[in-house]
C-alpha cells in the first residue's frame, strides 16, 4: 500500500491532519489500532479554544459544534468560599466552545469517510522505518496479517503511548518531564449542570472542576491521590466530596446530583519531546507532548500542531518549498512550551500539594486574590485559556 502521508492514530490530531491535507489535495492513509466505536466513545477533553473552533469551522467540520456546542464567555474561580468570574470577551475579545472531544472525533471520522478518506481501524502500527530516506514506511498488523504502508512523510499522531516517538533513533531527541503527586477522578453524570460556566475550585480539601457536556450531562473532576482506585469511591462519596469542595461561604449554591455513568482516573504529567521531527518523521499531539489537564490545553495543542503540519506539507506538495517543514518543530514548540507553562501554572495554583503545607496554601490564595483584583492578572489567565494567537 502506498500514500503520500502515512498517519498513525485516529485521535483528534491524526483525523484533523488527514482532513486538512485532503482539502489541500494531499492524499493520506490513517492507521488506527482501535475500533471506530472505541475512538468515538473515549471520554477525554471538553474545551475547544477560540482559534481551534475557527479552524474546524473554516475547514467545514464545525456545523454540529456550532449547533450542539456551548459557547462560554468565562469561567468561575472558586476559592476561600467565594466565587470570582473571569470574563473572557471583556479581557481578550475571545471565548471558548464546550464541545466534547468524542464529538470532534465523530465529526472528523464522518467527514473523512464521506470524502472517501482511508481510515484503517484495527490497524496497529508496529514500526516506522527509513525515516532518514525519501521513502519511509510504516509496518502494521491488521486482522493478524502483517502489511506495509509506503509513504513520503510519516505523521506520528499516536498519542503518548504510541510507537512514533519511540521510533526516533536514540540520541536524536531530548525529553523534559514532570510528574505531579496527584491525579483526577473524572465522572460523567446524567444531571443538568449546576452552573452556567465551568467552575475551577481551590479548597483545603483539594481541587475540583465542574464542567459539562450538554444541558443534560455534567462532567466533574476531583483531585485524588496517585494510585487511587475508582472502586474505592462510591457515588455518594464522590458527590459529598464534590459538594464540600465547591461549598460557598454563604451556602448559597447547591450541587445537583444524578446517576454517574462513567468514572475514570487521569494521572497528571507534563512532558515534551524536542525536536518534533526527524527526517521524514513528524510527531504531533500527545505523541510529542503531554500537559496536565487543568488548563484544558491537550486537545487544543494537538489540533494546533497538525494545522501547522498540514500547511507545511501542502506548501511542499504545491511549490516544492520545504521551509515550513523545516521550521515545523520550532514553530510547534513555541506554542507547546507556552501551553506547558500555563498548564503547570494552573495546576500548581489550584491543587493541594500533598507534600506542601499551609505556607503553599496561603500563597495560592494570595495569587487567586490577585487574579480576582487585578485586570492585568486576570487577563494573563484569560489570554492563555482562550488561546494565544502565536505565529
List 297, 304, 344, 351, catalytic entry: 297
Q: What is the spatial distance between Cα 78 and Cα 221, in angstroms, rounded to a whole number? A: 14
* Annotation marks residue 344 as catalytic: no
DSSP 8-class letter at 136:
-
DSSP 147-186: EEEE-SEEEE---TTSSTGGGSPTTS-EEEEEEEEEEEEE
* Annotation marks residue 178 as catalytic: no
Question: Is the distance from CB of 191 to CB of 45 less than 8 angstroms?
Answer: no
Cα distances (Å, whole numbers) of residue 121 to 116, 129, 274, 378: 15, 21, 29, 44
List 193, 293, 328, 344, catalytic entry: 293
x/- letters, 107..136, toward ligand FAD (CB under 6 A): -----------------xx-----------
- For the bound state, the minimum distance from the C-beta of residue 24 to ligand FAD, rounded and expressed in Å, comes to 20
List 200, 221, 328, 344, catalytic entry: 200
Phi, psi of 266 (to 5 degrees): -120, 115
- For the bound state, the minimum distance from the C-beta of residue 273 to ligand FAD, rounded and expressed in Å, comes to 12
Q: Sign of the C-alpha dihedral, residues 232, 236, 242, 247?
A: negative
- For the bound state, the minimum distance from the C-beta of residue 26 to ligand DHB, rounded and expressed in Å, comes to 32
* Annotation marks residue 181 as catalytic: no
- For the bound state, the minimum distance from the C-beta of residue 308 to ligand DHB, rounded and expressed in Å, comes to 23
Q: What is the spatial distance between Cα 208 and Cα 189, in angstroms, rounded to a whole number? A: 15
Question: Is the distance from CB of 386 to CB of 95 less than 8 angstroms?
Answer: yes
Alpha helices in the chain (DSSP H): 12-23, 36-41, 50-58, 63-68, 88-92, 101-114, 235-246, 298-319, 323-350, 358-373, 375-386
- For the bound state, the minimum distance from the C-beta of residue 172 to ligand DHB, rounded and expressed in Å, comes to 31
Q: What is the spatial distance between Cα 30 and Cα 28, in angstroms, rounded to a whole number? A: 7
- For the bound state, the minimum distance from the C-beta of residue 218 to ligand DHB, rounded and expressed in Å, comes to 9
Q: Which three cell numbers stand for residue 170?
A: 536514540
Q: What is the spatial distance between Cα 279 and Cα 8, in angstroms, rounded to a whole number? A: 16
* Annotation marks residue 297 as catalytic: yes
Residue 37 or 134 having the CB closest to ligand FAD: 37
339 binds ligand FAD (CB under 6 A): no
* Annotation marks residue 385 as catalytic: yes
- Taking CB within 5 to 8 Å according to partner kind, which of ligand DHB, ligand FAD, none is near residue 292? none
Residue 213 or 280 having the CB closest to ligand DHB: 213
Residue 183 or 211 having the CB closest to ligand DHB: 211
Stretch that binds ligand FAD, among 57-65, 81-89, 291-299, 369-377 (CB under 6 A): 291-299
12 binds ligand FAD (CB under 6 A): yes
Q: Which three cell numbers stand for residue 291?
A: 500537559
- Out of 59, 214, 266, 369, the only residue in the binding site for ligand FAD (CB under 6 A) is 266
Q: Sign of the C-alpha dihedral, residues 110, 114, 116, 122?
A: positive
Residue 188 or 191 having the CB closest to ligand FAD: 188
Stretch that binds ligand FAD, among 30-38, 243-251, 269-277, 309-317 (CB under 6 A): 30-38
x/- letters, 157..196, toward ligand FAD (CB under 6 A): xxx--xx---------------------------------
Catalytic residues: 72, 200, 293, 297, 385
Interface contacts to ligand FAD, rule CB under 6 A: 8-14, 31-34, 39, 44-45, 101, 124-125, 157-159, 162-163, 266, 285-286, 293, 296-299, 302
Amino acid at each position: 500500500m502506498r500514500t503520500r502521508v502515512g498517519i498513525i492514530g485516529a485521535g483528534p490530531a491524526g483525523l484533523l491532519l488527514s482532513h486538512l491535507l485532503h482539502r489541500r489535495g494531499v492524499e493520506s492513509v490513517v492507521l488506527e489500532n482501535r475500533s471506530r466505536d472505541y475512538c468515538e466513545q473515549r471520554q477525554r477533553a471538553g474545551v475547544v479554544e477560540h482559534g481551534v473552533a475557527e479552524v474546524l469551522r473554516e475547514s467545514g467540520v464545525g456545523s454540529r459544534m456550532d449547533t450542539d456546542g456551548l459557547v462560554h464567555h468565562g469561567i468561575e474561580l472558586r476559592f476561600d468560599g467565594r466565587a470570582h468570574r473571569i470574563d473572557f470577551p471583556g479581557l481578550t475579545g475571545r471565548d471558548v466552545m464546550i464541545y466534547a472531544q468524542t464529538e470532534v472525533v465523530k465529526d472528523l471520522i464522518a467527514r473523512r469517510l464521506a470524502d472517501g478518506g482511508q481510515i484503517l481501524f484495527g490497524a496497529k502500527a508496529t514500526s516506522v522505518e527509513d525515516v532518514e530516506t525519501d521513502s519511509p514506511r510504516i509496518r502494521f498488523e491488521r486482522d493478524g496479517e502483517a502489511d506495509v504502508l509506503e509513504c513520503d512523510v510519516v505523521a506520528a499522531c499516536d498519542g503518548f503511548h504510541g510507537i512514533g516517538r519511540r521510533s526516533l533513533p536514540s540520541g536524536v531527541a531530548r525529553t523534559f518531564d514532570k510528574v505531579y503527586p496527584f491525579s483526577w477522578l473524572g465522572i460523567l453524570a446524567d444531571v443538568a449542570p449546576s452552573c452556567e460556566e465551568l467552575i475551577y475550585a481551590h479548597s483545603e480539601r483539594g481541587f475540583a472542576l465542574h464542567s459539562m457536556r450538554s444541558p443534560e450531562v455534567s462532567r466533574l473532576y476531583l483531585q485524588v491521590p496517585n494510585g487511587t482506585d475508582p472502586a474505592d469511591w462510591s457515588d455518594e462519596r464522590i458527590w459529598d466530596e464534590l459538594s464540600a469542595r465547591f461549598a460557598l461561604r454563604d451556602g448559597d449554591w447547591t450541587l445537583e446530583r444524578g446517576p454517574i455513568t462513567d468514572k475514570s482516573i487521569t494521572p497528571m504529567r507534563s512532558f515534551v519531546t524536542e525536536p518534533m521531527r526527524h527526517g521524514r518523521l513528524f510527531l504531533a499531539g500527545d505523541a510529542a507532548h503531554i500537559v496536565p489537564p487543568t488548563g484544558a490545553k491537550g486537545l487544543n495543542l494537538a489540533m494546533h500542531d497538525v494545522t501547522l503540519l498540514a500547511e507545511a506539507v501542502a506548501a511542499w506538495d504545491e511549490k516544492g518549498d520545504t521551509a515550513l517543514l523545516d521550521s515545523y518543530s520550532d514553530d510547534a514548540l513555541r506554542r507547546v512550551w507556552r501551553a506547558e507553562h500555563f498548564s503547570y501554572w494552573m495546576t500548581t495554583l489550584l491543587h493541594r500539594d500533598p507534600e506542601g503545607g499551609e505556607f503553599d496554601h496561603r500563597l495560592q490564595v494570595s495569587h487567586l486574590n490577585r487574579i480576582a483584583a487585578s485586570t492585568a492578572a486576570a487577563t494573563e489567565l484569560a489570554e492563555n485559556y482562550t488561546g494565544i494567537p502565536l505565529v
